Chain A
Amino acid sequence: MSLFEYSLKEIQEKLHNKEISVSDLVSESFNRINAVDHQINAFLTLNEEEARNKAKALDDQVGPNSSILFGMPIGIKDNIVTKGLRTTCASQFLSNFRDPLYDATVMDKLNAENTVTIGKLNMDEFAMGSSTENSSYVKTRNPWNTDHVPGGSSGGSAAAVAAGEVFFSLGSDTGGSIRQPAAFCGVVGLKPTYGLVSRFGLVAFASSLDQIGPITRTVEDNAHLLQAIVGHDPMDSTSANVDVPTYSESLEQGVNGLRIAVPKEYLGEGVDPEVKAAVMSALKVYESLGATWEEVSLPHSKYAVAAYYLLSSSEASANLARFDGVRYGVRSEKAENMIDMFKMSRSEGFGDEVKRRIMLGTFALSSGYYDAYYKKAQKVRTLIKNDFEKIFEKFDIIVGPTTPTPAYKIGEKIDDPLTMYADDIVTSPINLAGVPGMSIPCGFSSKGLPIGLQLIGDHFDEKTLYQFAYAFEQATEFHKKLVEVGGGK
């Protein structure tokens, strides 16, 4: 049995009793990576020497007061800056960015808890994509069936946890990039409320939407990892200064008497019958636990994907202007003047999807089109946000599918950007509204691929999400099914 099948609490107990050491935990990670990562390709960069040295140092420090995350092997999405550890955002543009100068705030916080960074995880380039096929290095494969995508953009982060290569990981979510791969890989992924987790050191894609969040095998572990990374940060001016509850304390409060809203737009056309059936079964589980549910409408849902792509691409076109080949990253050797140097470096360094989004965003922000596209999308964002506010006046939580279908095959959608964008219909509104969303395993398709249940809460009400997620997990067995890498085909 893998050590990573135990809970955080159980592992800490084993550490304290000297049954195991931090070095054992770190070896568990690298042994598993050596055994299966050639089939999954979750990692872009391994931090083996540093990790083993840190583990050795920590072996002597285990004590009664050590953090619940003490010594735990973690994987980090490659758009989170790690001091001295190569950070590429899966882009050729940053292929030579071997020596980042500082740690993201979330890394400072994790290091303070003495976690051990195992390596950097694959993703769609600059987090633009839903399948990790847009990585400029390698395609990550779904551990449940390696012919299928792991989802994206945090595909490496979800696949590594599902395959037991790390105990847990961090991802980032701009329009679904934590929840969708968590659903495809059968793990627990949370996109926190906008502003709850500092974005300092997260390479910016769309600054008004991006959030870092935890990906874990169980709900309880997820609550502990979130606890470690939240909090106000003076280095991020959009970081919220709010009181943070102890999330693990809410886990066992149950859902009796709580009210669930089920948006009819999230179970409409395009939703796979098996996904719909799994969501309906989950609602029955909640009924049996004493919650009630009612169908509701989020009337502006069908506009979310268009608004999301205009806004996120506009913000991206501004954010990615920093990649100019002057201070870091690659520089084209062919250019003879400054402007050509910018253009050629960017064209050589960025992949197709990144170029497409920069072009869309630049167009939407350009003179003569700004009002018709960018400002229009911002107004529609207000309508979408209002839809959610209305629901939360009467309900405790919104429940629906995380994705319209289970994981699709590698190559199936990559040539048609609009088809792939359309899948964001159930995840992107949550980012536009800034509310928290979580995916938990709620079933398997007839082909054995995981199905995710999405839980959506009011601003800063992660507590209720954990309450619902834990209640469901305790009442079901889906999270106990383990991946057999290479099986499933």
Chain B
Amino acid sequence: MADISKDQVKHVAHLARLAITDEEVEKMTKQLGDIIKYAELLNELDTDNVQPTTHVLDLKNVMRKDEPRKWIEKEDAMKNAPDQQDGQFRVPSILE
């Protein structure tokens, strides 16, 4: 599997919604490449018959009743918003 290319780094940055500079692309390509190469260590292990662990407790589909309860008031929910209008979060245009 080995190396990660600059184009891959740019693609991953787009997926991660990060704007990265050309300089950062250079640096990330090297650093991610090193970390991924290190992670190849796991390929020493035969895991064909091993079940993956997603988490350690024996819990499945924890559900609770869908009941309305008092929680945050709408105006409180807006308190930390960077921009708002008429009680709604305001964002830049989505469609061209």
Shortest Cβ distance from A339 into chain B, in angstroms? Answer: 7
CA distance A303 to B17 in the complex (A): 30
Specify the chain A residue showing the minimal Cβ separation from B24. Answer: A355
CA distance A309 to B51 in the complex (A): 19
Specify the chain B residue showing the minimal Cβ separation from A361. Answer: B16
Residue contact A336 to B28, C-beta cutoff 8 Å: no
Residue contact A338 to B76, C-beta cutoff 8 Å: no
Q: Is A347 an interface residue (CB 8 A)?
A: yes
Taking CB atoms, residues of chain B closer than 8 Å to A98 are: 80
Q: Is A227 an interface residue (CB 8 A)?
A: no
Residue contact B62 to A380, C-beta cutoff 8 Å: no
Please encode chain A, from 340 to 360, with 1 for each CB lying within 8 Å of some chain B CB and 0 for all others: 111110110010000110111
Residue contact A238 to B81, C-beta cutoff 8 Å: no
Specify the chain B residue showing the minimal Cβ separation from A313. Answer: B35
A contacts with B, residue count (CB < 8 A): 72
**Known contacts A240-B57, A381-B53, then 11 further A-B pairs from the complex at CB < 8 Å, ordered by chain A residue:** A98-B80, A329-B82, A335-B92, A340-B19, A356-B28, A379-B50, A380-B42, A383-B50, A418-B38, A421-B35, A459-B56
Residue contact B12 to A379, C-beta cutoff 8 Å: no
Residue contact A356 to B36, C-beta cutoff 8 Å: no
Q: Is A99 an interface residue (CB 8 A)?
A: yes
What are the 10 tightest A-B residue pairs by CB atom distance, in nearest-first order?
A: A434-B56, A378-B52, A331-B82, A328-B80, A379-B47, A208-B55, A237-B62, A343-B19, A362-B16, A381-B53
B contacts with A, residue count (CB < 8 A): 52
Q: Is A366 an interface residue (CB 8 A)?
A: yes
Please encode chain B, from 85 to 96, with 1 for each CB lying within 8 Å of some chain A CB and 0 for all others: 000010111101
CA distance A112 to B91 in the complex (A): 39
Taking CB atoms, residues of chain B closer than 8 Å to A342 are: 17
Residue contact A317 to B16, C-beta cutoff 8 Å: yes
CA distance A195 to B56 in the complex (A): 9
Specify the chain A residue showing the minimal Cβ separation from B28. Answer: A359
Specify the chain A residue showing the minimal Cβ separation from B16. Answer: A362
Within 8 Å by CB of B18, from A234, A346, A417, lies A346
Taking CB atoms, residues of chain B closer than 8 Å to A237 are: 59, 62
Q: Is A471 an interface residue (CB 8 A)?
A: no
Taking CB atoms, residues of chain A closer than 8 Å to B81 are: 326-328
Shortest Cβ distance from A9 into chain B, in angstroms? Answer: 34
Taking CB atoms, residues of chain B closer than 8 Å to A326 are: 81-82, 89, 91
Taking CB atoms, residues of chain B closer than 8 Å to A343 are: 17-19
From DSSP, what is the main secondary structure of chain A's interface residues? helix
Residue contact A362 to B12, C-beta cutoff 8 Å: yes
Segment touching B, from A30-38, A166-174, A260-268, A369-377: A369-377
A residues touching B (Cβ–Cβ < 8 Å)? 96-102, 194-195, 207-208, 234, 237-238, 240, 300, 302-303, 306-307, 309-310, 317, 321, 324-331, 335-344, 346-347, 350, 355-356, 358-360, 362-363, 366, 372-373, 375-383, 385, 417-418, 421, 432-434, 459
Residue contact A363 to B45, C-beta cutoff 8 Å: no
Shortest Cβ distance from A201 into chain B, in angstroms? Answer: 13
Residue contact A382 to B17, C-beta cutoff 8 Å: no
Shortest Cβ distance from A354 into chain B, in angstroms? Answer: 10
Taking CB atoms, residues of chain B closer than 8 Å to A306 are: 38-39, 41-42
Q: List 6 A-B contacts (CB under 8 A).
A: A96-B82, A101-B80, A207-B55, A234-B64, A343-B19, A373-B36
CA distance A321 to B26 in the complex (A): 24
Shortest Cβ distance from A82 into chain B, in angstroms? Answer: 14
Q: Which of the listed residues B39, B52, B56, B94 has the most CB atoms from chain A within 10 Å of its own CB?
A: B56
In the complex, chain B residues 21-53 whose Cβ is within 8 Å of any chain A Cβ: 24, 28, 31-32, 34-36, 38-39, 41-45, 47, 50-53
Taking CB atoms, residues of chain A closer than 8 Å to B53 are: 378-379, 381-382, 385, 432
